């Protein structure tokens, strides 16, 4: 596999050009081309000699859209092909305030959550920072955006993979995507979702990159949580809450809990009461979502009525909470389901 030019920061590109004896402004031309989602071979103003030299070492197009599904509500789901033949998926959701892209951070995942399709085949490999960035650059360009006038305004790290299990690459991605000379998405418009790798939450809090922290909670006790999320055996809810407080203290950002409603698992009255007790008074928000059923898993979702009744219990109890509208349902698939379906068809 060749290297990935999008892994480099602007300073990294400048160093490369200097090493190659090229003029400094070449770095700017290349960087600007990449930020506009161009392949190396398409970057204007580069000599064919320099392009050739780059292409000997670097992938022309590290992340390629191989199929797009469009929902009647405007949501788009993509299957991306990587240069080693692996497949990842992504989503673009359209809202009044802008477009949110959901990106993957790993091929597969090793966290083993029982409701999630991304983890069905385990972890295949980590994505490099440039492969994560290229998902955004590609979709931004597809929608006519560039680095000044972005089509992708918000980013959520909620595709396949556990971002904090690929910490260094995810951190480089966050630094590169928020860099002022680049595509420059504000950290406030980026949400990182984790199943709760506590030590890494502390590390992230200390990086000075105030992205929104989202925790996949899904249960109110450690025992209950461990039934569907193996990671709960390692990190207790109390430790996660402590890490969230630290995150708030360092970044000033309110944190968010994801809570997927699973029938007969986590959404009775007693769960609502326990959740209120756990979170009341904390600078946080609860995002409810009805489980997207995964064919290979036994877990069942709840009715809309049950979901709204659970939501009402939480808000009456004083929590800030919302039920996430299910979008793009007609094109199928939460987290990992698209890729799983594609691989199942024998690809």
Strand order of the β-sheet with 284-290 is 63-70, 76-82, 87-95, 98-102, 154-157, 190-194, 212-216, 255-261, 284-290, 321-323
Residue 211: DSSP 8-state: P
Token pair in block for residue 222: 């450690």
Which is nearer to ligand SAH, 244 or 335 (by Cβ)? Answer: 335
Q: Counting beta carbons within 10 angstroms of the beta carbon of residue 222, is it exposed (0 to 12), middle (13 to 18) or buried (19 or more)?
A: middle
Does position 205 interact with ligand SAH (CB under 6 A)? The reply is no
Does position 198 interact with ligand SAH (CB under 6 A)? The reply is no
Token pair in block for residue 201: 């939450």
Q: Which of 172, 191, 260, 266 binds ligand SAH (CB under 6 A)?
A: 260
Residues 67-126 contacting ligand SAH, CB under 6 A: 113, 115-116
Which is nearer to ligand SAH, 35 or 338 (by Cβ)? Answer: 338
Containing H/E element for 36? none
Which x/- pattern over 131-160 shows residues binding ligand SAH (rule: CB under 6 A)?
A: ---------------------------x--
Longest dimension (CA), the chain: 68
Q: Which of 32, 154, 194, 251 binds ligand SAH (CB under 6 A)?
A: 194
Q: Which of 132, 232, 256, 291 binds ligand SAH (CB under 6 A)?
A: 291
Which is nearer to ligand SAH, 195 or 237 (by Cβ)? Answer: 195
8 Å CB contact between 194 and 162: yes
Which is nearer to ligand SAH, 40 or 323 (by Cβ)? Answer: 323
8 Å CB contact between 156 and 100: yes
- Minimum distance from residue 156 beta carbon to ligand SAH (Å): 8
Segment interacting with ligand SAH, rule: CB under 6 A, options 22-30, 120-128, 193-201, 267-275? 193-201
Q: Which of 77, 258, 307, 310 binds ligand SAH (CB under 6 A)?
A: 258
Does position 232 interact with ligand SAH (CB under 6 A)? The reply is no
Which is nearer to ligand SAH, 151 or 156 (by Cβ)? Answer: 156
Provide the 3-class DSSP secondary structure of residue 99: strand
Q: Pick the catalytic residue from 89, 162, 258, 265.
A: 89
Whole-number Cα distances in Å, 20 to 26, 28, 106: 11, 15, 32
- Minimum distance from residue 236 beta carbon to ligand SAH (Å): 16
89 is catalytic: yes
Residue 58: DSSP 8-state: B
8 Å CB contact between 169 and 132: yes
Q: Counting beta carbons within 10 angstroms of the beta carbon of residue 234, is it exposed (0 to 12), middle (13 to 18) or buried (19 or more)?
A: exposed
E strand spans, the chain = 63-70, 76-82, 87-95, 98-102, 106-108, 123-126, 154-157, 190-194, 212-216, 255-261, 284-290, 321-323
Q: Which of 7, 59, 162, 265 binds ligand SAH (CB under 6 A)?
A: 162
For 2, other C-beta atoms within 10 Å of its C-beta total: 14
Segment interacting with ligand SAH, rule: CB under 6 A, options 36-44, 68-76, 191-199, 272-280? 191-199
Which x/- pattern over 313-342 shows residues binding ligand SAH (rule: CB under 6 A)?
A: ---------------------xx-------
Which is nearer to ligand SAH, 136 or 291 (by Cβ)? Answer: 291
- Pairwise CA distance, residues 209 & 250, whole Å: 10
335 is catalytic: yes
- Minimum distance from residue 144 beta carbon to ligand SAH (Å): 28
Which is nearer to ligand SAH, 50 or 294 (by Cβ)? Answer: 294
Residues labelled as active-site residues: 89, 335
Residue ranges in contact with ligand SAH by CB under 6 A: 113, 115-116, 158, 162, 193-195, 216, 258, 260, 289, 291-292, 294, 334-335
């Amino acid at each position: 596999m060749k290297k990935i030019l999008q892994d480099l920061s602007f300073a990294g590109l400048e160093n490369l050009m200097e090493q190659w004896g090229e003029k400094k402004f070449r770095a700017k031309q290349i960087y600007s081309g990449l930020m506009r989602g161009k392949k190396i071979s398409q970057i204007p103003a580069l000599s064919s000699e320099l392009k050739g030299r780059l292409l000997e070492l670097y992938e022309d197009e590290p992340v390629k859209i191989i199929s797009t599904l469009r929902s009647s509500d405007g949501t788009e789901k993509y299957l991306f092909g990587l240069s080693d033949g692996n497949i990842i998926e992504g989503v673009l959701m359209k809202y009044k305030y802008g477009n949110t892209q959901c990106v993957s951070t790993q091929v597969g995942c090793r966290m083993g959550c029982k409701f999630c399709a991304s983890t069905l085949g385990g972890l295949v490999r980590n994505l490099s920072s440039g492969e994560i960035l290229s998902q955004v650059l590609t979709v931004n360009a597809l929608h006519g955006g560039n680095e000044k006038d972005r089509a992708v305004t918000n980013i959520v790290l909620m595709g396949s993979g556990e971002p904090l299990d690929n910490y260094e690459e995810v951190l480089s991605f966050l630094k590169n995507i928020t860099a002022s000379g680049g595509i420059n998405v504000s950290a406030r418009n980026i949400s990182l979702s984790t199943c709760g790798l506590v030590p890494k939450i502390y590390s992230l809090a200390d990086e000075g990159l105030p992205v929104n922290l989202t925790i996949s909670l899904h249960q109110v006790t450690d025992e209950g949580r461990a039934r569907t999320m193996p990671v709960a055996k390692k990190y207790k809810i109390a430790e996660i809450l402590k890490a969230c407080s630290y995150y708030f203290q360092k970044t000033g950002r309110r944190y968010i809990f994801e809570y997927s409603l699973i029938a007969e698992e986590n959404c009775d009255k007693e769960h609502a009461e326990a959740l209120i007790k756990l979170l009341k008074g904390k600078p946080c928000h609860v995002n409810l979502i009805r489980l997207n059923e995964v064919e290979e898993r036994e877990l069942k979702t709840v009715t809309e009525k049950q979901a709204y009744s659970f939501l009402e219990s939480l808000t009456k109890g004083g929590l800030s909470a919302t039920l996430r509208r299910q979008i793009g349902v007609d094109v199928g698939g939460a987290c990992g389901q698209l890729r799983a379906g594609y691989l199942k068809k024998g690809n």
